[in-house]
Amino acid sequence: MNFSIIIPTLNEADNIQSCLQSVQAQNQPHEIIIVDAGSMDNTIENARPLADKIIRFDKGRATQMNKGAKYASGDILLFLHADTHLPTNALDSLSQLFKQHHNTWGRFNITLTGQHPLLKMIAWFMNWRSCLTGIATGDQVIFVKKSLFEQVNGYAEIALMEDVELCSRLKKISRPHCLKTRVISSGRRWEQYGVVKVVVLMWSIRLRYFFGEAPETLNTLYTKGKLWKT
Integer Cα distance of 182 and 230 in angstroms: 38
Radius of gyration of the chain (CA): 17
According to CATH, the topology of domain 3-116+135-186 is Spore Coat Polysaccharide Biosynthesis Protein SpsA; Chain A (3.90.550)
164: exposed, middle or buried (Cβ count in 10 Å: 0-12, 13-18, 19+): buried
At 227 the pLDDT is 58
Cβ-count burial of 204 within 10 angstroms (0-12 exposed, 13-18 middle, 19+ buried)?
A: middle
Question: What is the domain partition of the chain in residue ranges?
Answer: 3-116+135-186
pTM of the predicted structure, to 2 decimals:
0.92
What is the mean pLDDT of each successive set of 10 residues along the chain, which is 230 residues long? 95 96 95 97 97 95 97 97 95 95 94 90 93 95 98 95 96 95 88 79 82 82 64
Report how far residue 14's alpha carbon sits from residue 20's, in angstroms, rounded to the nearest whole number.
Answer: 12
Q: What is the pLDDT of residue 22?
A: 97
Say if residues 73 and 5 touch (Cβ distance below 8 Å).
no
CA 165/CA 138 separation, integer angstroms: 11
pLDDT at 219: 82
Dihedral angle computed from the Cα positions of residues 44, 52, 108 and 147, in that order, rounded to the nearest 10 degrees: 120
